[in-house]
Amino acid sequence: MEELITKLSNAHGISGSEGNIKTILEEELKPYVDEMRTDKMGNLIATRKGEGPSIMLAAHMDEIGLMVKYIDDNGFLKFVKIGGWYDPTLHSQRVIVHTTKGPIPGVIGSKPPHVMKPEDRKKPPEAKDMFIDIGAKDKEDAANMGIIVGTPVSMDREVRKLANGKITGKAFDNRAGCAIMIDAMRQIAELDIKATIYAVGTVQEEVGLKGARTSAFGLDPDIAIAIDTTIPGDHPGMSKNESSLDTGKGGVITIADAAGRGIIAAPQVIKWLVETAEKNEIDYQTDVGDGGTTDATAIHLTRDGIPSTVISVATRYIHSPVEVLDLADLQSCSDLIAKAVLSVNDYF
């Protein structure tokens, strides 16, 4: 699992440019499914055929990033944010600019504090005042490097081990979900599973749950589980009132998110997952959140409704280049999904 999440996290694929991640999923899922295809939206749909209930596992492939909107006369790149960035997080980061001629390094720059007015130093930096420096001499030089309007940009970070089974890296939201889905399908392939399983790598979750909406409509599964990350309350600045979750305490089963504006999971789905976890002695947590939402929101509102929920990994510092998770939680999530698929006929 560590090797898998490292491979996925170190790869690059912002919303709308998920091709590199899709290639990894294709390679990793191929031994465990009967067929794979890519739909018109770009979602990867890997199917393990069976009888009985059909289950959609959805893990979004995209990470938040940037996109070039303008090259100035001096060769500096202005950008827009793709996904939910907190602007100060971007300041002074190294980036990879994915040009038409291949990836090149860059850094995010801004006005030095030495020449700021005192009142400006007190304000958090804003993305509109930042730019990407690739070392270009001028606009023509940048263009010759393969920079065009619309060039995607991702963070230049690689996974590193921390103490006590934790790791840090970029894009665990949601390469963690992709890794869990792959490992769950590996386990499912070794079990006597009657259900049909759709393992779906969805696109553009970070900019509107787009791939989940279209793929769920096309597949029309009986049940769906979105696999994602969520916010723990186990570090300074967070209280248990904001999040009662902990890293290292097991996967998270969502009862409701976004204070119900996202998903309120069907009781039978929660019963299925909780009883499966307890029966198989798999560590788990349950969550009612009032913050963000996931692909499950789009999926459960598709057609005449699809019973759905989310299984998540509690991950610190989400939507930053230094996210932190516990490897044991990845395995708990994978084990829970595999065992739940095995027992689905007892509940649906």
Binding site feature residues for Zn(2+) = 60, 173, 206, 228, 319
Which positions are catalytic?
A: 205
The edge-to-edge listing of strands for the beta sheet with 166-169 is 160-161, 166-169, 323-326
Residue 66 one-letter amino acid: L
Kindly state the tokens that stand for 44: 């990867």
CA atoms within 13 A on the CB side of 295: 34
Kindly state the tokens that stand for 201: 């790598």
Q: What is the number of other CB atoms lying within 10 angstroms of the CB of residue 122?
A: 8
Rounded to an integer, what distance in angstroms lies between the CA atom of residue 177 and that of residue 348?
Answer: 24
